[in-house]
Structure 1
Amino acid sequence: MIRMRGKRNLGDSLFDWGNVLLMVFICFITLYPIWYVLINSFNDGVDAMRGGIYWYPRVFSLESYEAVFKNKGLMTSMGVTVAKTVIGTVVHVLFTAMVAYGVSRKDLIGKNIYMLIGTVTMFFGGGLIPSYLLIRDLHLLDTFWVYIIPAMFSFFDLIIFLTFFRDIPEGMEEAAKIDGANDLKIFYRIVLPVSMPVMATIAMFHGVFQWNDYFTAVIYTNNPDLQPIQTFLYRIVALSGSNQIASVVPGNVVRTVTSQSVKLATMVITTVPIVMVYPFLQKYFVKGFMIGSMKG
């Protein structure tokens, strides 16, 4: 019996090798575009215009990165992006978790109505013009808080929190109430500490959104000091022609780089920081992503 279990027929071996080759192919087509951008960003801009760079830089150069970092607006934009990502993520996670905890209470009056209204907002929106008029009337135009306040709450994230909160044993909260804790103390001292997996998941989702969001600044701000890094990249990509790129690339560096090389260098600079955060949240992210798939 042991020998029979250890044997594998030709069909099983071919199936395993087919899976391996398929996964290698998927990994390659997923990672190669990133590698292509990276190696071309480290290549001399003028030389890269000849093409034929596929696996490694042909003429290694850091001049494209030098051109980007010499731009005064880059560090300002990076600071705005880091600030709105950190503050926006913390506020979003705490506020959405607080609302979700309230909605998860069985004795909440009008709970079904709130859920119905929230569900409708997931499928239907007011549109850009009403949103702009609302932001204007709230006096959020050309302010830093335009990145924070409209993104404080997400009904989709509330549903994820609800799924997790329903699995918290009721005995924990009942014991806390016997000890004299109110709902606010229970939320901050019991619910939040045991909700790290789902909080890390929501933080990852919203943090990536805040980091990558460029559209908010394009629509709601005119102040260059409030421009995030993704809007900075958007405006570089939108430029065309050597005269326009000269306004982005200062000094005599413009003679040795191209608009394409500056775009690629800026893309790498804006992507690396958020990618480096993921490994620190991975263990929580995997647990939170599987919330609701099984009980235990």
Structure 2
Amino acid sequence: MKSSTGDKILLSSIYTLLALLAFLSFYPFWNAAVISFNNGTDTMKGGITFWPRQFSLENYRVVFEDNRLINGFIISVLRTVIGTISSIAVTAIFAYGMSKSELIGRKPYMVLCVITMYFSGGLIPTFLLIRELHMFNTFWVMVIPGLISVWNMIIFRTFFKGIPAGLEESSKIDGCSNWGVLFRIILPLSGPVVATLALFTAVSHWNDWFTPSIYISDSTLMPIQTKLQQILNSNIMSEQMAQMDSAAQGRMNRMKAVTSKSLSMATMMVATLPILCVYPFVQKYFVKGVMVGSLKE
């Protein structure tokens, strides 16, 4: 069917609008990358747009030579891996039980779960609870409180209810236990949903700087996102330099080419790229997982 002039104008307008929106979404990230590769002193003059004006790797050299930032990066990786695996496992177990109509009290349990999606205990009561549980200033305060996501549980539960009951019954006839059915039959069939929810959970863990800033005071346990937030809030470069290790103090002269803004942009790139690299590997599951897990028959 041949397109009319009006259709061509409409399509051109739509493509132009989408291209503009894509540019507006991508440009801030690109500009941050450009600033991270630019000389810090020159960056303070302004006018850095699409390309570095004075190319420099000093910002990244400082980031990778600062033991505090490297330690924060390791903490972020550990938190994301452990937190994602444990959260998906516990949430899937909970959802599997909630998907069974024979579960006594299933509806009251569901009501209690939904209530937690809209109301929380508040920051101060939660802080007191964390302290009484002796999780304050520990690595596990970033993992255990977020083990179960009600939203993820609902998606898991909806998908599990769509799996034919005969498949589970035949597995039990062959001698498979409930645990075996879940981990050997149900979860392998739930690959797209698991991959999608794992991505959401991993991004949430990776980007979270607020939780460590409230419940952790030991700098060796802080993830790189919290350290980045501290850098962004620091207006005086000398304060950052005073906290560096003795080896970094010996590089003071070279640091003249680095400012708090350029350092924060380089740190942001280091903190952002790892999670971006994960997305291409789960992209094929993403749309399918969201659609399958959100439909109810």
Kindly state the Cα deviation for residue 292 of structure 1 after the two structures are TM-superposed. 4.7
The equivalent residue for 1:94 is 89
Q: Distance in 2 between matches of 1:18 and 1:73?
A: 49
Q: 1:81 aligns with which of 58, 61, 76?
A: 76
Kindly state the Cα deviation for residue 247 of structure 1 after the two structures are TM-superposed. 2.5
Report the AA paired with residue 132 of structure 1: F
The equivalent residue for 2:275 is 274
The equivalent residue for 1:67 is 62
SS at match of 1:139: coil
Q: TM-score with structure 1 length normalisation? A: 0.95
1:262 is aligned to 2:257? no
| Cα distance, 1:102–1:34 mapped onto 2, change above 3 Å | same
% identical aligned pairs: 45
Q: Distance in 2 between matches of 1:276 and 1:293?
A: 26
Kindly state the Cα deviation for residue 265 of structure 1 after the two structures are TM-superposed. 0.6
1:30 is aligned to 2:34? no
Q: Distance in 2 between matches of 1:166 and 1:40?
A: 50
Q: Distance in 2 between matches of 1:158 and 1:290?
A: 15
| 1:46-57 paired onto structure 2 within 5 Å | 46-57=41-52
Q: Which runs of 5+ in 2 are unaligned?
A: none
Q: TM-score with structure 2 length normalisation? A: 0.95
Q: Which runs of 5+ in 1 are unaligned?
A: 1-5
SS at match of 2:242: coil
| 1:130-145 paired onto structure 2 within 5 Å | 130-145=125-140
Q: Deviation string for 1:168-204 (max 9, x for gaps)? A: 1111001112222221111111001101111111111
SS at match of 1:235: helix
| Cα distance, 1:157–1:124 mapped onto 2, change above 3 Å | same
Kindly state the Cα deviation for residue 245 of structure 1 after the two structures are TM-superposed. 3.0
1:208 is aligned to 2:208? no
Q: Distance in 2 between matches of 1:271 and 1:215?
A: 17
Q: Distance in 1 between matches of 2:138 and 2:131?
A: 11
1:106 is aligned to 2:104? no
Kindly state the Cα deviation for residue 254 of structure 1 after the two structures are TM-superposed. 2.5
Kindly state the Cα deviation for residue 157 of structure 1 after the two structures are TM-superposed. 0.8
Report the AA paired with residue 33 of structure 1: P
Structure 1 vs Structure 2 CA RMSD: 1.4
Report the AA paired with residue 40 of structure 2: G
Q: Distance in 2 between matches of 1:146 and 1:118?
A: 21
State how many pairs are aligned. Answer: 291
Q: Distance in 2 between matches of 1:21 and 1:248?
A: 48
SS at match of 1:86: helix
Q: Distance in 1 between matches of 2:187 and 2:147?
A: 17
| Cα distance, 1:218–1:295 mapped onto 2, change above 3 Å | closer
The answer (yes or no) to whether the contact 1:93–1:199 under 8 Å persists in 2 is yes
Report the AA paired with residue 191 of structure 2: M
SS at match of 1:286: helix
